Every structure is written in structure tokens, then in C-alpha cells.
A = this chain, B = another copy of it.
Amino acid sequence: MDYPKEWINYTREELLAILSKNLSKKRYQHILRVEEEALKLADYYHADCAEVSLAALLHDYAKERSDAEYLHYIDEHPQFAMLRPYGNNIWHGMIGALFAKKELGLNNPNVVRAIQLHTVGGKQMTQLDKIIFIADYIEPNRHFEGVDEARKLAYTNLNQAVSYALSHTLIYLIQRGYPIFPMTLDAYNHWVGRIGDE
């Protein structure tokens, strides 16, 4: 697959080579499975396959960077100071997307946004945001309790799948005592708790 040159100056094959070289085998294979699932969803919901493929391939582009690299970036960019305590799970989306932008010349704001939201979710999510969020949650190698229900919802009602994933992700985090990023609560309150924008 080729992507429009205005979005990124690499073909899919060239991007795969970059990812394969820079990430662990495990991560690389996860990325391929997320792309596979995301393209199935794109097909089902008539989304733009090139955007979906690009966002899927790059969603974990910077997941294996060191905490030190992220903390250095946060210290240099005070607008991200509130991300500091939340760790790699939050950083690799919210900041990792900006690394892809800078290092790969990624220049499609829809794709950047979908990468940023892929772990935290958001009160406002585009169809692309939802597809990447859900593909990452249900890719073929996920085996958690409830994944079958999530898969079923993904191909029935994408918004209900987002609600399901947000609720179950929050419970997962709380059961383990992990911190919860405020945007994820906003997303939950919007998609599940039906809190409007008043």
C-alpha cells in the first residue's frame, strides 16, 4: 500500500522495515495484528484504508523508548508537564505520535490524533480514533476475559465497543491500583456515563 506523499514520505513496505528494525519482534507482530484488525474494521465501517493502515502501523511506534527519553521531552515541553506521573502507557501515545511526526515526517493530523488517543480514549473520538482504539483492544492475539464480547460489539456498534473497552480498561487499572489519566475518565463519562459538554 502506498500512502499519499503529503501524509508521509514512506511506503508501507518502507515503514515496515523501519518498525521491524527498531522494535522488538513481539511488538512488531502486535502492530501487524492491529493493522489487520483495523483494516477489517475499516472495511466494515467504510473508513479510509490508507489512514487506518498508517495509524495502525504507527500506533506503538515509540512504545519502546526509554522513560528517560520521554521525561527529557516532557521537561523540554512544559505543556506536557501533567503527563509526567502517568508513565509509558500514556506517553507512548500522546508523545509518541509527536515523535513519529518529527522523525518520520508524519503529516496527517487525523493519524497523529488517532495515535495520541489510542490508549487514553477521548470525549470526542473520530471514526478513525475509534477503529485504532478498538483494533488495539481486540487484535487476534488478545485473550482477556470479555474479549469475545468486545469483538462482537466491534462489528455491531463501534460506539458500544468503545464504551465496553473504556469500562473494562478502567476496571482493569483500578483492580491493579494503577493511576488513571483524566482524559480516560472524560472519555468514560462521555461514552458510558452520558455526561454532556455542559
Contact = CB atoms under 8 A, between A and B. Distances in A.
Given A85-B196, A182-B182, A174 B177 contact: no
A195 B81 CA distance: 13
Given A189-B179, A189-B180, A196-B85, A170 B170 contact: yes
Contacts of A86: 195
A79 interface: no
B185 A174 contact: no
A126 to B, nearest CB: 23
Interface in A16-74: none
A133 interface: no
A169 to B, nearest CB: 10
Contacts of A188: 174, 180
Contact of A81 (B171, B174, B177, B198): B198
Contacts of A196: 85
Nearest to A191: B177
A174 B167 contact: yes
Contacts of A141: none
A193 interface: yes
Given A85-B198, A167-B175, 19 more contacts: A81-B198, A84-B198, A85-B195, A86-B195, A163-B177, A170-B170, A171-B171, A171-B174, A171-B175, A174-B174, A174-B188, A177-B192, A177-B193, A179-B189, A179-B193, A179-B194, A180-B189, A182-B182, A185-B185
